[in-house]
Amino acid sequence: MKIIGIDLSGPANAKDTVMTVFSIEKGRLIFEETITNASDSMILTAIVRIAKNDEAVIGLDAPLSYQDGGGDRPQDKSIRQFIKGFGLVGGSIMPPTLTKMVYLSLRGIGLTRTMMMHHLLGKVRIVEVHPGAAIGTRIGPENLYHARNYKKEEAQPSRNVIFNWLQTVGLQGLPQEISGTSHQIDSCAAALAAWHWADPDKQPAWLWSETSPEHPFEFCC
């Protein structure tokens, strides 16, 4: 089985989209490849290639649905409250229809529905994830500063801390360049959350399991 983490950006900003692929071996995630500057076409081509030979679980960092009438979905409210208990900033969870989020939501919804139209969901499972929450709820209070600041442009030391930490929680073989941007870090954290969601011997830090035709995917961190 492959575990794939995707840190998605808006459709006009593919340069900040990163897809990282791992295989599961002996209770660890083994790094296989990273695709940077990933367009929808590149993502779909890679997933089709992988699905020909393996089952795959995809952790996708983007809203995969929106609330009728706008504003928060129930799952947005729930995870926001959850991460505040770990000292994380609740403002990192934004409504899918917020102006600065709407293009990301559009791309996430469009990409997953295209996968459905390609009948990929027989061999591919998708879960919405929040990488920052996946890091911040696991890394411990001694590293909270780094979990809160690694996305800042000047925060290479914090990204180095998180890069090293990821290897202690089962992600093996990561190339050093993964620490270069928050998008690469987030793609790995998306895979971590998806792994804990899919593996029956593990569990996510937080899970919204209620699905419906309007909200077809579970959400975890």
pLDDT above 80 for 77? yes
- Distance (Å, rounded) from C-alpha 144 to C-alpha 47? 34
β-pairing, 207-208 with 28-35?
Answer: unpaired
**pLDDT of 122-168, one tens digit each?**
789 999 999 999 999 999 999 999 999 999 988 999 999 999 999 99
β-pairing, 207-208 with 56-61?
Answer: unpaired
pLDDT above 80 for 12? no
**pLDDT of 20-65, one tens digit each?**
999 999 899 999 999 999 999 999 999 999 999 999 999 999 999 9
β-pairing, 171-172 with 28-35?
Answer: parallel
pLDDT above 90 for 116? no
Could you tell me the residue range of the domain that residue 175 belongs to? 2-220
Q: Specify the length of the chain in residues.
A: 221
Domains identified in the chain, total number: 1
Tokens (6 digits) for 103: 């293009």
